[in-house]
Structure 1
Amino acid sequence: MKTPQGLQPLIDDGIIDDVLRPLKSGKEAAVYVVRSGGDVRCAKVYKDMAHRSFQQRVQYQEGRKVGSSREARAIGKGSKYGRKQQEVAWKNAEVDALYLLRDAGVRVPEPFGYFHGVLVMELVTDADGLSAPRLGEVDVSAEDARAYHAILVRQVVLMLCAGLIHGDLSAYNVLIGPDGPVVIDFPQVVSAAGNNAARTMLLRDVNNLTAYLGRSAPELLDTWYGEEMWALFQAGELRADTELTGHFEPDESEVDLDSIRQSINDAREEALIRQQGREAAEED
């Protein structure tokens, strides 16, 4: 195939040898299957801010570190330089997250480097060596749904222990490899301690997964893993090996339980709408 413009510098520098095929094109990036030496990998080419349609960037970027106080001031003022630095920080977020989460034991693709604004990483494959399907693209039995849910809840715990929340986790940001789910797509990752919307995003991530897998295993819909892990995190008691129960008893003297349940239902409905919109955008 014709080499995409964003990948030509990597070929010129000998980082990759050739581009085999496109893998995925979304709102934030285009992913290609590439050859690097004797290995087949994937390369993620990020789209410039002007060409992205991802919304609420400010909310996701709250709490992210920038290079210097000068850059922080420029970003705050919205100057041309600030917008450029904001764009750099946005593109670097996934790279930094992948290295951090990989070291923390989270099931994410192995990163191999960030070159000329392109992330080169492991190509997750299925048992036959083909590109792994997304969770939202496979038929899931009740047994698989329970197993996948347990694995993914553990990944969310490991991410939270590493100080991060995915921020846009759903059945379409999870690949199913031979050993089970692998979490992908982290440009919108948020700081658990530095973002005022962290709790909301964590609950949405967990509820998205629960709502989807609960179609196959309805008993999952009565679990409260997100609330449980956040309460432990806030109390400084969440560990990578913490055994969760899925049960959560809020202080009903201070919390409107009906409102919490309604918020969860709203999040699950929003997840369905977001998935439908994502599918429609990719079909276009």
Structure 2
Amino acid sequence: MREHDFPAPERWTRGKSRFDDDEPQFLRHGRQPEPGSTDPDDGPDPETGESWSSWDDAVHGPQPHPAWLVTELAAKDTDLGVLKTGKEADVHLLRRAVPDSDRSCLLAVKRYRDANHRLFHRDAGYLEGRRVRRSRENRAMAGRTAFGRQMIAGQWAAAEFAALARLWEIGAERGTISVPYPVQLRGTELMLEFLGDPEEGLAAPRLAQVRPDPAGLRDLWEQLVDALVVLARAGLAHGDLSPYNLLVHGERLMLIDLPQVVDVVANPQGGEFLARDVRVVSTWFAARGLPATLADPAVLTEQLLREAGIR
């Protein structure tokens, strides 16, 4: 790891203190609050679908907060419907606006499924190297008890929020990686910057949907390599990288869907996850005409392993 690659004062670290050792308070205490209030008066208005902004009781993203973000407690949130469904979470479109003003923004809200509905068929490898401090909690997660599954759900959300926050800071400072701004975290609900057309409410296309010309294809590849180098220098791999969790927003390639982010040093399979990420995206770019000399997965994997300090 190279310390100058990370913004002060906090940095990704290895050894005894990794990013997932510093769990949010709800993980340290072994409980997982549900997003939203138990007070029926705080729920959505049955006529308008509006509810008061949840900003006040959430963990917030990096400061300074972007100018477009509505943080006023007088704001109201309106769920505009589902943007995307997935095995572990659904993503909704939400408008946060201050009544009787021009202050408003669109947010993507990722809601992880609860312990009874989430699928855990492929999480064991990702969770290698992720540990909480209490042995009881580690045993519960290993045994996939109801309590353990809820702990795992919280770890997915917390890991994604932490990774996005750190990568957003790096991108804001150096411009070498682009991710959506992580607005807030409440339990297993993660609010993010909406990437797309705010007028139409249409999400930015996934990389799999775009058909760039040769120059555009090469530019997107170079952006991807820059992003992967940033991840590797942080000792991380995306863990599930594909053309379906990369968005093209304007001319920028944006990394999304990071709950399975892997510590390539602490995880015994870390190098394998990194190599698989590279192989999947290299195959896509090569199939669309990028010269094999550029999209050589073996060469890029070796470079990233060196950047991660494990070669």
* Structure 1 position 48, deviation (Å): 2.5
Instruction: Tell me whether 1:198 sits opposite 2:237 in the alignment.
Output: no
State percent identity of aligned pairs.
33
> What CA deviation, in whole Å up to 9, does each residue of 1:194-232 have, x standing for no partner?
111111111111121111011223413445212222134
Distance 2:84 2:229 in 1: 28
Correspondence for 1:29: 89
Q: For the residues of structure 1 that align with 2:239 and 2:138, how far apart are their CA atoms? A: 22
Q: Which amino acid aligns with 1:227?
A: E
Partner in structure 2 of residue 121 of structure 1? 192
Structure 1 residue 148 corresponds to structure 2 residue 223: no
Q: Which of 116, 119, 123 is matched with 1:57 structurally?
A: 123
CA distance in structure 2 between the partners assigned to 1:81 and 1:189 by the alignment: 22
Q: CA RMSD in A?
A: 2.6
| Alpha-carbon offset, residue 100 of structure 1 | 1.9
The C-alpha deviation readout for 1:254-279, integer Å capped at 9, x for no partner, is xxxxxxxxxxxxxxxxxxxxxxxxxx
Whether the aligned pair in 1 keeps the contact of 2:178 and 2:252 (CA below 8 Å) is no
Q: Which runs of 5+ in 2 are unaligned?
A: 1-33, 37-41, 45-49, 55-75, 98-103, 172-176
Runs of 4+ with deviation above 6 angstroms: 5-8
Distance 2:227 2:43 in 1: 34
TM-score by length of 1: 0.73
1:1-284 matched pairs, under 5 angstroms = 12-15=51-54, 16-37=76-97, 38-53=104-119, 55-105=121-171, 106-125=177-196, 130-219=202-291, 220-222=294-296, 224-234=299-309
Give, in whole Å, the separation in 2 of the partners of 1:83 and 1:177: 34
Residues 49-85 of structure 1 deviation map (CA, whole Å, 9 limit, x = unaligned):
4423453211001111325343223323444433332
1:144 Cα deviation from its structure 2 partner: 1.5
Higher helix share: 1
Whether contact under 8 Å (2:112, 2:153) holds in the other structure is no
CA contact (8 A) 2:51 2:78 kept: no
**TM-superposition CA deviations, 1:160-194 (whole Å, max 9, x none):** 22222110001000000113110000111111211
What per-residue deviation string (whole Å, max 9, x for no partner) do you get for residues 85-128 of structure 1? Answer: 22322232211211122122231110110124211110012598
C-alpha separation in 2, matches of 1:212 and 1:66: 37
TM-score, normalised by the number of residues in structure 2: 0.67
